[in-house]
Structure 1
């Protein structure tokens, strides 16, 4: 079908859904002077892995550090004068909080935001810097969310849901229109899912606009495997809540899909896949090293799926891929842990314990073997006391930076060749 024919006789997917392309175009008008039209970065390294052209939609460079300001602003810009006078209330551990706070500041609306007590200090400070009143409540987002809803009922402040609202979904969907403007030949788009607002909005924009142009775009959603509520929900055709959600990708650590996004995603999204914590950590390291991008774990799951070759597993043939980097708000302490975990997952961080005789020169000999193997020692811990130690023995734990699995094996084999017995720690 040619583009002209598509315009005359469009077979537009998702016609009966609660959010339509015209809603997203209207949201785009509202956001014109509010958001940054974030860049599209070419990734040659990922392109070589996939034998395709790969671009990264750098929404980590958006105002307030993520896509969340898109939906929050559209929702709040459409409040009545009476609703604005009562203010807004929200709950979040980070990105949604900052998006609501920024939107409230732009619109002159009072905002109260509930955040869990353990929230990362940089996210807490950033939310307050945008002018919102922050209340710390509960030990997790669910408890903060319940308190925000109670506050809304008591005070009349409008509760701004992070994803289960048509205005929010339309606002998030504007990213889909930007992707088509920046990469008109895109045939596959990959992005993360938490509650589903971003994926749902992007799905409407991408699928409906592509159909109007006589084209088809494949859309893949990605969840952390320890926070994957969508696969069982889609299989059951009903919302299936999860218990014990736990992942480094806190931005998508949502235990229950939103009703509105779910209805859109089940009709328009082609596949939903999951990635491991190791894969997320490796993707985050890859983005820092190869693309010079600081991305939070939730923002890296699309790249993790590409690196894990999920498209090939799904038999998706592609020539032009866009992965959405949905956010860049990462706590520095979490970044440190993720970097260490990612290096270990990529076999570039080796930790082993070795037993030595407590006599002069032993550690120097170990150090020489490691140096001759061209590995870098980044930490040493030794103990002369312990149940496994005999008098005159010492236990040494050594942390090394290596070039990968083959190099790690070379170091270990060099030690074994000299009579040592390194015990590798995971």
Structure 2
């Protein structure tokens, strides 16, 4: 069901009146018109496995792993870069990314004939490095994590006069990611609960604005790894803070410090945050592959992990229409094989033996 008309827009506009949001639903609607000139409207499918096993409701998977570049990140990148001035495009662009935003920027730059450089952490998945290079961008490996790569990007942008395409802390990027929310409403207008992976916050900020603008009663859940959950820690503290205790399978969301723009949006519009363990992420990746035939990277499996681990109160799930966002599918085959081996090394009691 498409939400149109002045009455609907009046309802939408009231959502962001309670705080100064850098993005409106109108921005998201404009981004949708632009992005869908090239990008895909990704499938929304019901998972009978998750519906029966976990919720006693209806669980749908929004398959952003089937978006161009294999991730939702193409949306925000395409919307942002298309809005740059001719002079900015001519000078070239730069970004920092663990991999998915890198590919979105690289493909958009190729489509528009713009020179692009991408700073990635040294441990960025090889498949994401190769894909980014394949789209024609210059890949620079620097730092042991995203935050170190980001700092180097900021220095290089000044040195070389390049325009930064921020992976999440930018209104145009947030608006681009929010188009996912509009697509969910187009297909499932009476959705009750939406579960979203969270890193720097661009995805959940955009989706929350889109959904809450239509229906403020939609329950929005953000999911992060126990090892890296800067946004959840910041919301709990009431201010932007940093949190990281190690690496995570959900490398696409391994952002220790959330964005200054995305934080207040999440603080006001996201109903709750839950954390999942590395084992729970691995299990979700395995079950998505085995039971639903979906290849999801760690970040893309976070919502499924939260469902399977019963981290969300049943009142938001039972007899409800639930959407779990599979944000991306860019995972190294070696990591997939390792995950499979991990579960095949269980003894008959379910305990790991190797």
Superposed counterparts of 1:89-104, under 5 Å: 89-104=94-109
Deviation at 1:228, TM superposition (A): 1.4
Helix, strand or coil for the counterpart of 2:139? strand
Deviation at 1:316, TM superposition (A): 5.7
Q: 2:49 aligns with which of 25, 45, 52?
A: 45
Superposed counterparts of 1:320-399, under 5 Å: 320-341=321-342, 343=343, 349-350=345-346
> Higher relative contact order by CA 8 Å / sep ≥ 6: 1 or 2?
2
Worse overlay, 235-244 or 65-74:
235-244
User: d(CA) in 2 for partners of 1:243 and 1:290?
Assistant: 32
Q: For each residue in 1:234-289, what CA deviation from the matched residue of structure 2 results, as whole angstroms up to 9, or x when unmatched? A: 12210111243421110111100111111101111111111111111111111001
Question: What's the counterpart of residue 201 of structure 2?
Answer: 196
Q: For each residue in 1:22-57, what CA deviation from the matched residue of structure 2 results, as whole angstroms up to 9, or x when unmatched? A: 010011111012211111111001111210011100
Aligned CA distance change for structure 1 residues 314 and 159 (closer, same or farther; 3 Å): farther
Question: What's the counterpart of residue 56 of structure 1?
Answer: 61
Worse overlay, 145-154 or 8-17:
8-17
Where does structure 2 lack aligned partners over 5 or more consecutive residues? none
Alignment of 1:244 with 2:245, yes or no, is: yes
Aligned CA distance change for structure 1 residues 92 and 7 (closer, same or farther; 3 Å): closer
Worse overlay, 314-323 or 177-186:
314-323
Where does structure 1 lack aligned partners over 5 or more consecutive residues? 351-399, 409-423
- Contact kept in structure 1, 2:227 and 2:244, CA below 8 Å: no
Q: For each residue in 1:348-367, what CA deviation from the matched residue of structure 2 results, as whole angstroms up to 9, or x when unmatched? A: 632xxxxxxxxxxxxxxxxx
Deviation at 1:141, TM superposition (A): 2.4
Q: 1:127 aligns with which of 115, 122, 132?
A: 132
- Contact kept in structure 2, 1:245 and 1:253, CA below 8 Å: no
Alignment of 1:27 with 2:27, yes or no, is: no
User: d(CA) in 2 for partners of 1:24 and 1:197?
Assistant: 13
Deviation at 1:91, TM superposition (A): 1.4
Helix, strand or coil for the counterpart of 2:224? strand
User: d(CA) in 2 for partners of 1:315 and 1:187?
Assistant: 7
Deviation at 1:329, TM superposition (A): 0.3
- Contact kept in structure 2, 1:311 and 1:317, CA below 8 Å: no
User: d(CA) in 2 for partners of 1:116 and 1:320?
Assistant: 38
Q: 1:206 aligns with which of 208, 211, 223?
A: 211
Question: What's the counterpart of residue 290 of structure 2?
Answer: 289
Number of aligned residue pairs: give it: 347
- Contact kept in structure 2, 1:188 and 1:318, CA below 8 Å: no
Q: For each residue in 1:359-381, what CA deviation from the matched residue of structure 2 results, as whole angstroms up to 9, or x when unmatched? A: xxxxxxxxxxxxxxxxxxxxxxx
- Contact kept in structure 2, 1:38 and 1:62, CA below 8 Å: yes
Question: What's the counterpart of residue 143 of structure 2?
Answer: 138
User: d(CA) in 1 for partners of 2:338 and 2:27?
Assistant: 41
Question: What's the counterpart of residue 304 of structure 2?
Answer: 303
User: d(CA) in 2 for partners of 1:121 and 1:254?
Assistant: 19
- Contact kept in structure 1, 2:146 and 2:254, CA below 8 Å: no
Q: For each residue in 1:52-88, what CA deviation from the matched residue of structure 2 results, as whole angstroms up to 9, or x when unmatched? A: 0111001011110100010011111000011111100
Aligned CA distance change for structure 1 residues 110 and 217 (closer, same or farther; 3 Å): same
Select the structure of larger CA radius of gyration. Answer: 1
Worse overlay, 7-16 or 123-132:
7-16
- Contact kept in structure 2, 1:14 and 1:267, CA below 8 Å: no
Worse overlay, 314-323 or 26-35:
314-323
Helix, strand or coil for the counterpart of 2:16? coil
Aligned CA distance change for structure 1 residues 6 and 29 (closer, same or farther; 3 Å): closer
- Contact kept in structure 2, 1:281 and 1:339, CA below 8 Å: no
Helix, strand or coil for the counterpart of 1:41? strand
User: d(CA) in 2 for partners of 1:22 and 1:319?
Assistant: 28
Report the aligned-residue RMSD: 2.1
Helix, strand or coil for the counterpart of 2:215? helix
Superposed counterparts of 1:135-284, under 5 Å: 135-210=140-215, 216-284=217-285
